[in-house]
Each structure stands twice: as structure tokens, then as C-alpha cells.
Amino acid sequence: MQLLVDEPWKDELWYQNQWRAFYRERMRKLSRLGVIFGTIGIGALLFGVIPSTSLEHHPFLSDSAALLGGLLWLTLLIQWFRMNWQMTSWDCPRCNELYFKRNPFRHRCAHCKLRRPRQREVSPLNSF
């Protein structure tokens, strides 16, 4: 374990950039989940538009739509666990240890107690 001493080159701007990268990565992963969830919703709506007589006469259509829907739900589940795993394995900018350590909602580092700023506190609109 490293000493909990800040290096002189780690100034406020460096920490701001680290947190911006964290929030950018989190937003990218959440948007990916949103796209998958939206695709599932659109597929369900389109499946509801197909007349039931067509589904009865063409069972391959209903089976393939159900298989595709199941695969999309499985993809959503895998992406959710992958996102949580990657976000909880994010290293603290100060001590380079795991920041969250099994709790993705933590607001302070588990080791050095570095506070995680809110997203609006590190937005590119703030000038320092």
C-alpha cells in the first residue's frame, strides 16, 4: 500500500481531470445501457403491432422474435454487471487503491478518504 501523501505535481486541475474522466466513462456506460434497453422496448412495441393471426400461421416469426428479445435482455444484464464491475474497480486518483471497494455509491475513498466531487463540481464549464 502506498503512502497517503500527495505528490507535488498532483494539483487541483489534475484531480479535476481525473474526475472528469470518471464521469465521462460512467456516462458512456450508462448511455450504452440505455441504447440496449431502448432497443428492447422498441422490439417489444414492434412485436405488439404484428397481428396475432400472422404469429399463428408463422411460428418461426414468433420464435425468432422471442429468441432475439431474450438475447437482448441477456445482453442488458451482462452489460449491467460489466459496468458495475468496471466502475467499482476504478482506482483512486490519490492513493491508487480501489476507490469504491464493493460499494459503487461511496462518496469517499475506502483508503485515503478522498471525497468524490459531484459531477457539476467538475464540469468543463467551471474554470479554475
- Per-residue pLDDT tens for 91-109? 888 888 888 877 777 888 8
Interval 4-58: pLDDT, tens: 445 666 777 888 888 888 888 888 888 888 888 888 888 778 777 777 777 778 7
Tell me the C-alpha distance between 112 and 66, whole Å: 49
The answer, as to whether pTM is greater than 0.75, is no
Question: Would you say residue 114 lies in a domain?
Answer: yes
Question: Would you say residue 117 lies in a domain?
Answer: yes
- For 115, phi then psi, to 5°, come to -75, 135
Q: What count of other Cβ atoms lies within 10 Å of the Cβ of residue 36?
A: 18
> What is the pLDDT, as a whole number, of residue 67?
86
Question: Would you say residue 2 lies in a domain?
Answer: no
Question: Would you say residue 3 lies in a domain?
Answer: no
- Checking if the pLDDT of 74 tops 70, the result is yes
Question: Would you say residue 57 lies in a domain?
Answer: yes
**Number of structural domains the chain divides into:** 1
Locus of grid cell 432475439: 68
Query: What is the domain extent for residue 50?
Result: 12-122
